[in-house]
């Protein structure tokens, strides 16, 4: 049945993509997911861990562990908010900032490989279909 085949293909695509990204990220000594946390910080430094968890769609304890690891790697640091000492904000180190270009290039290379042989019109349709699928499974 086609629905099962689509589900199976999505599972294979997801698993293989994750393996490919994991392999590519090893050269930067980070893991899948940590690159997305860095990306959010490249867009806006000084956000709270709660804001980061909301942007990543992860549970706060997951983000706390991720930030601890990124801190151990020397890529981020945490600092108490100047106005409210109960709030901790997350910032990039110079090393964390320096990963932006190489990781973004790696993402592009991975995406180019993924979309190889798919023409613009098909890519536009694929994007629309994927957006609809995300909407279908996202809680309101």
CATH of residue 83:
1.10.10.10
Q: Residue 139: is its pLDDT beyond 90?
A: no
Dihedral pair phi/psi, residue 120, rounded to 5°:
-50, -50
User: What's the pLDDT score for residue 4?
Assistant: 80
Q: Is 46 helix (H, G, I), strand (E, B) or coil?
A: coil
Statement: residue 3 has pLDDT above 80: no
Q: For residue 105, what pLDDT is reported?
A: 97
* C-alpha torsion sign, points 64, 68, 74, 80: positive
Q: Model-level pTM? A: 0.86
Residue 38's pLDDT is what?
97
Q: What is the pLDDT of residue 79?
A: 94
Residue numbers of the domain that contains 54: 2-137
Distance of CA 18 to CAs 12, 21, 77, 84, 107, Å? Answer: 10, 5, 27, 38, 12
Instruction: Categorize the per-residue pLDDT at 67 as very low, low, confident or very high, splitting at 50, 70 and 90.
Output: very high
Angle between helices 100-114 and 2-25 (to 10 degrees): 150
Q: Is the pLDDT of residue 1 over 90?
A: no
Coil, helix or strand at residue 47:
strand
Closest listed residue to residue 67, CA positions, set 29, 42, 38: 38
User: Over 90: is that where the pLDDT of 2 sits?
Assistant: no
Q: What is the mean pLDDT of residues 33-60?
A: 95
Q: How many domains does the chain have?
A: 1
């Amino acid at each position: 049945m086609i629905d099962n085949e689509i589900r199976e293909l999505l599972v294979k695509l997801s698993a293989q993509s994750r393996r490919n990204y994991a392999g590519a990220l090893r050269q930067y000594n980070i893991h899948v997911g940590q690159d997305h946390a860095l990306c959010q910080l490249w867009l806006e430094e000084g956000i709270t861990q709660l804001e980061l968890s909301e942007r990543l769609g992860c549970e706060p304890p997951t983000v706390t562990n991720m930030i601890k690891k990124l801190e151990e790697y020397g890529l981020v640091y945490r600092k108490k908010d100047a106005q409210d000492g109960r709030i901790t904000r997350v910032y990039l180190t110079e090393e964390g900032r320096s990963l932006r270009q190489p990781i973004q290039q790696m993402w592009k290379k991975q995406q180019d490989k993924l979309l190889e042989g798919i023409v613009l019109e098909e890519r536009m349709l694929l994007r629309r279909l994927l957006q609809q699928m995300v909407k279908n499974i996202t809680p309101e």
